[in-house]
């Protein structure tokens, strides 16, 4: 099980967001992905293998973590960053998602 916190994170443009994803048991250090999901659009891959940014993702997005605790840090928030963020376990099936963190203005 992946548990994300907080459920909702109210912030303003220009601030830094720190999103947490906790696994119910220790996982491979490179087994977490992060996605951004906005209404009416499919999710977008941000981070894969815990640390690596996907194509065209700016360096404001940073993934980190090991063991059971993983974080996504978004610096200098921009208006288009708001929406729901999901972490996903990616090593062996089932590739479960966390319940999501809503980043809102």
Partner 1 sequence: EVQLVESGGGLIQPGRSLRLSCVVSGFMFENYDMHWVRQAPGKGLEWVSGITRSGLSIGYADSVKGRFTISRDNAKKSLYLQMNSVRAEDTALYYCAKDFYGSGEIDVWGKGTTVTVSS
- Which residues of the shown chain bind partner 1 in the complex (CB under 8 A)? 31, 33, 35, 37, 42-43, 45, 48-49, 54-55, 84, 86, 88-100
Dmax over CA atoms of the chain, in Å, equals 37
Distance CA 66, CA 61 (A): 17
Q: Which is nearer to partner 1, 63 or 74 (CB)?
A: 63
Q: Which is nearer to partner 1, 12 or 96 (CB)?
A: 96
Min CB(39)–partner 1 separation in Å:
11
Helix then strand count (H, E) for the chain reads: 0, 10
List phi, psi (to 5°) of 80: -75, -5
Q: Which is nearer to partner 1, 17 or 88 (CB)?
A: 88
Min CB(67)–partner 1 separation in Å:
18
Min CB(14)–partner 1 separation in Å:
27
| C-alpha count within 13 angstroms, C-beta hemisphere, residue 5 | 5
């Amino acid at each position: 099980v992946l548990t994300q916190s907080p459920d909702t994170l109210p912030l303003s443009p220009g601030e830094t967001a720190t999103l947490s994803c906790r696994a119910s048991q220790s996982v491979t250090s490179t087994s977490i992905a992060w996605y951004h999901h906005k209404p009416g659009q499919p999710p977008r891959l941000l981070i894969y293998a815990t640390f690596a940014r996907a194509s065209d993702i700016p360096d404001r997005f940073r993934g980190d973590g090991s063991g059971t605790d993983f974080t996504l840090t978004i610096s200098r928030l921009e208006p288009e960053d708001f929406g729901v963020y999901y972490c996903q376990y990616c090593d062996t099936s089932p590739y479960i998602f966390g319940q999501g963190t809503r980043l809102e203005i």
